[in-house]
Structure formats: C-alpha cells, structure tokens
Amino acid sequence: MEPRPVIFHIDVNSAFLSWSASYRKNVLGEETDLREVPSIVGGDQEARHGVVLAKSTPAKKYGIVTGEPIVSARRKCPGLIVIPPDFRLYVESSRALIDLLKSYFDKVIQYSIDEAWAEFTGYELLYGEPVAFAHRLKEQIKRELGFTVNVGVSVNRLLAKMAGELRKPDCVNTLFPEELPEKLWPLPVGELFLVGKAAAARLNALGIQTIGELAQADPEMIKAHLKKHGEVIRNYAWGREEEDEPEGKGEKEGNKVFGNSVTTPVNVTDIHYARQILLSLCETVGMRIRADGAKIGCVSVTLRDNDFVNRSRQLQLDSATDVTEEIYDTACRLLEALWDGRPLRLLGVSTSRVSYEEYRQYNLFDREKYDRLEKCNQAIDAIRARFGEDSVMRASFLKTEVSHTSGGLNKEKRAEALTVKNLRKKS
C-alpha cells in the first residue's frame, strides 16, 4: 500500500512588509523593526493605488485590513508608519525563498510572489517525519532569510493552503482529511478558499453559516443557487480539489497559473475603457504563457467595484491556447456577463489549466486564423525581447492613458520577474 501524499504550502507572513522590514533592519541598520510597530506598505495614493498592501501584526490590532484605503487606515491609527513598496526587493526575496525550497524538493510550484507548494511525498527517508521537518524548514527560513512563514501540511494543495491559514504568524499547521470536522468545518463559510463576500452572503441567506454546513448541504440546492461555483466550493469544504482525478489517470499539468490585475487610476464606468484595460492585461499574460512554452485552457476575470466587492467568473476553452487575442476575446465575454455597471477600481485576468501539448483541437473555421495569430504573437515577442517592451504596441493604445502591457509589476519589475518565470497567480 502506497503512503498517502504529503504537500507543503509555504506562505510568507505579511510578505511585502516583512521583506521591507527585514531589509531595513538587517541591511540598512534601522533600529525600528516595522513588524513590531503599527506599520503598513502602501501603494501610490496619487495613482489610485493608495491602499494597504501589507500590514504588521500591531497594525492589524487597530482593525486595519489589506486592501483598504490608506486614508482609512490612518484614521484607525493616527501614528501609523507608511512605507512605499519596493518590488525589486520583493522579487529578490521571493527568488531566495524559492531557491531554498528547490534545494530540498524536486517539485516546487509557485502560487504567487510570496507563496508556493512543495511536494514532500517520497522524502520521508531523507528528511524524516513531515511535520517535524516543516518546523525545521520554517526555522531555517527565519534564520537564513530573515522573515517568517507559515507552513501548511496536508495531502493536496487545497488543504495545505487552507492549513496555513488556521493560525498565524510563524506557525506549522496540519489539515488532513480526518481533521476537517474538528479544524475546518466549525469556521465561518466566508473563510473557505474562493468564497468571497457575495458568495458568503448568498450562502448565509440559505441558512449556511459554517464550512461544515456547506459540506453537509444538498449539492443540488447549492448548484441551483451558485451554479458551477457552488459545486466547486462544496468540494472544497470536503477538501477535494477541482483538479482531482480518479486513480490511474496520472497527474494533471494544470497547476500553474498566469495572471495579472491592475488598480485603475479612476473609476471605470465605460465598457470600452474596461475592454482596453483587459487587452493590456491579456498582452502581459500572453507573453508570460508563451515565454514558458505553455498553453492554457481556462480564462477567468475578476472585478472589484468601488465598494471593494469582488466578483469573478471563469470559462473553459474548447482548446488550449497561447494566443493573446483568444484570451482577450474570452475575457471580454466574461466581462460582459459579470459586470453589472457599478464603477470598477480593479480588473484582473487569470488563466489556468496549463498544458504543454503541441496539438490543438481545430474547428472547421479557425485553423488559418489561429496559425496566423500564433505566428504573429511569437514574432512580436521576439521583437520585444530584442528591442524592448515598447518597440511594438497595438494601435488602439496610441494616444491613450492605458499602458499597452499593464498589470501586476511595472516594466522594470516585470523584466526581472520574467527571468524567474515564477510570478504566477492561481484563480
């Protein structure tokens, strides 16, 4: 009988603030450790990025939350220390973490700039009991890299990630299937992965208050009210990943994700402006996909309105693609289905179900068009790689305020991140 799999999820505690604090104290020699006082990392207020990107534990005690406006955080804590983000430092710190993980594990999958999964399965004879090794790994990261992490331990990526959220900071948590009734099910349903405020409110209206109640609810009733998303989150309540396959089918490749989002300088109220932002995001996402030699089979769009309510929807493609235009067309369809006209302050595009297969399932009409677009995209990538990102751009971006390749990191930061090929977000 084969041993069950063991997966680690490693998540940096308040990453941006922790990385900045460690650098300022250990390298610049500053006396104050920002992690020990009320402090935040805040975006550029003039460019409409004036929100809390990361917060210290003392700041959290004042009720400050990630994503809220800086002006609101200052009202809660008048003595709050606010520092600007330093993305070059964050990329370097992220690379150092991933390099350390790869020194132990053959399979490391980066989920975002500050978190990753590592597959421990098969390393028991080399490293010993998994939870004990997770504690040693956590302490080594703190000692050598100067920041703390949470390590979640379980049998799949979903449960490992949720385990890491149970207690913070600087903790090792387990969440194995047999521990769900005790550790996960009593929690409010809004704390389940991918259950946002809107979904939580709809579940609450159905009388479902806890994750356990969601797990025990009638699946047809959940599907009737929340469609496909309802099926997904009910599976999550049972610790089942959406990508889980029956035994013998092999492991899926679709664990990587390429995505980008951008906070807009002004409220977006015009559909044409929204589409242009999506196109700029899709340009960057498409470049990353092709740089990795990959194709994607699912596109999702996330919207955040000016009341900070997030909504997202995804659509699976008929055939995997790496063509920017196909990703953009799908994103526009999702935008039209998702947007109710409320002013938007953030738009995001994410892609998943990644594969590295060469074939494509053509229909009767798209082969010539697809081949032409694929070659065009590859030629543009080659030109940009040689002469710079701004050497080629679509005419629709001329004389506009929208960057033709926007979202996530700016050009300098993105160029460095692309050398790592690991700044990817999972939907």
The identity of residue 8, as a single letter, is F
- CA dist 147 and 165 (Å) reads 17
100-138 b/e with 16+ CB inside 10 Å = b? bbeebbeebbbbbbbbbbbbbeebeeeeeebeebbeebb
Is 173 in contact with 151 (CB distance < 8 Å)? yes
- CA dist 198 and 310 (Å) reads 8
The mean pLDDT value for 102-111 works out to: 89
Which domains can be identified in the chain, with CATH numbers? 1-184 (3.30.70.270), 186-237 (1.10.150.20), 258-420 (3.30.1490.100)
Average pLDDT, the chain: 83
- Around Cβ 183, how many Cβ atoms within 10 Å? 17
What is residue 312's predicted lDDT score, i.e. its pLDDT? 87
115 among known catalytic residues: yes
What is residue 425's predicted lDDT score, i.e. its pLDDT? 37
- The first and second tokens of residue 225, run together, are 């009210």
Is 309 in contact with 303 (CB distance < 8 Å)? no
The mean pLDDT value for 151-174 works out to: 94
pLDDT score of 420 more than 50: no
- CA dist 16 and 258 (Å) reads 21
- The first and second tokens of residue 72, run together, are 């609101």
What is residue 86's predicted lDDT score, i.e. its pLDDT? 86
What is residue 247's predicted lDDT score, i.e. its pLDDT? 39
- CA dist 205 and 189 (Å) reads 12
Concatenated DSSP letters of 383-401? HHHHH-GGGS--GGGTTSS
- CA dist 394 and 398 (Å) reads 7
Q: How confident is the model at residue 258 (pLDDT cuts 50, 70, 90)?
A: confident
- CA dist 335 and 312 (Å) reads 9
Q: Which of 30, 31, 36, 115 is catalytic?
A: 115
pLDDT score of 253 more than 80: no
Which of 364 and 60 is assigned the larger pLDDT?
60
265 φ/ψ angles, rounded to the nearest 5 degrees: -65, -30
Is 114 in contact with 164 (CB distance < 8 Å)? no
pLDDT digits (tens, 9 = 90+) for 12-57: 998 899 999 999 998 899 999 999 999 999 865 554 457 788 899 9
